[in-house]
Amino acid sequence: MKLFFNLTPLSYHAINSCFIFLLVIFLSCNTSNCLIKLPENITIPALFAFGDSVFDTGNNNGIRTIVKANFPPYGRDFPGGKPTGRFSNGKIATDIIAEELGIKELLPPYLGSNLQSQDLKTGVNFASGGSGFDPLTSIIVEVISADKQLEMFKTYTENLRKLLGEEKTRTILSESVYIVSAISNDIANTYFHTPTRILEYNVSSYSQLLVTSASTFLEELYKLGARRLLYFGAPPIGCLPMQRTLGGGIERKCVENYNTMAKLFNSEVIAALERINGKNKESRMVYVDIYTPLLDMIQNPQEYGFEVWDKGCCGTGLVEVSFLCTEPNIFTCENASTYLFWDSYHPTERAYRIIVDYLLQNAVNKIFTN
């Protein structure tokens, strides 16, 4: 049973006109009438997120690390206009997915958020900006490793059992949706910018190291009760504004060796998911292709309503991210919705919404395929 899917670049252009029309409708509606349609008699009690800054909603706020986003101008378009630790101008993918699944408006971080019983019942976020599947990745920037995120999840499940009992906890864990995104930092930072890794591994062997680590992580999640899981693959890392600036030459072209590794990892993790699903009869782990839609948005920004696609809104948009993205900065843009990227590494809320809306219904359908 194969539970993964891909969308080709051609398919994006073929339905472009219809998509833009639907997008306008989507951006103008509210949570109550924008929900993902679930199969009959199916409910999703909670959402759990693991990974890096693409999913982190504030776990890094309370730890000693330079990888933070709890200061302006981060969060300027978030409800209330305050920074929360989300690496964007507003909501990020985790919030939007929780909203679209009809679970709740925001997915709170596990650390430092004064969680209430209702938060525990409906899901929390364990992701940490700067993290990855290579253990060295988290050590370098002192963030929460993948293994530590699993330990936090174990503690969470123990607290949930105390609150609800064993049977109810088992039901919540098995019927909830889990989302995982953690690979970009391994490739962009650890491999290509850490001499010990690039000397020790070639592209192929390092990719295999990451796949092995990711597989172990997913198997552990399964043992802890996870059944329905969306695995978000690597994006076109070499085309992110920061990588263009640092490695794309004077013309700031996409850095192809970064993209080559991202594509190699994606192809190998698809096979790994197939093995996990085949070995565990209750496993519903779905590969979600982020690479294709984000690359299409970069190559055809006008078709998605973006005016700027090769740099971020914050500062010059060329290298600013985390502590480099601060205010006041005369270069920071006024309207982030016209930008594909918020800083030089992370998408804007509007970009996240487009990606999630385009991919989530298909992914959810795959999760419930028998």
Residue found under tokens 């994606």? 266
Is residue 332 within 8 Å of residue 314, measured between CB atoms?
Answer: yes
The DSSP element (H or E) to which 210 belongs, if any, is: helix 203-223
176 tagged catalytic: no
- Phi and psi at 211, nearest 5°, equal -65, -40
Q: How many CA atoms lie within 13 A of 201 on its CB side?
A: 19
Burial classification of residue 80, based on how many CB atoms lie within 10 Å of its CB (0-12 exposed, 13-18 middle, 19 or more buried)? exposed
Q: Which of 338, 321, 259, 258 is nearest to 291 (CA)?
A: 259
Beta bridge partners of 287: 4, 231
Q: How far apart are CA 232 and CA 87, in angstroms?
A: 17
128 tagged catalytic: no
User: Read out DSSP for 191-208?
Assistant: IHH-HHHHHH--HHHHHH
53 tagged catalytic: yes
- In this structure, the number of other CB atoms found within 10 A of the CB of residue 330 comes to 6
Which member of 131, 343, 344, 357 is catalytic? 343
Which member of 138, 176, 346, 357 is catalytic? 346
Which member of 53, 113, 128, 213 is catalytic? 53
Catalytic residue ranges: 53, 343, 346
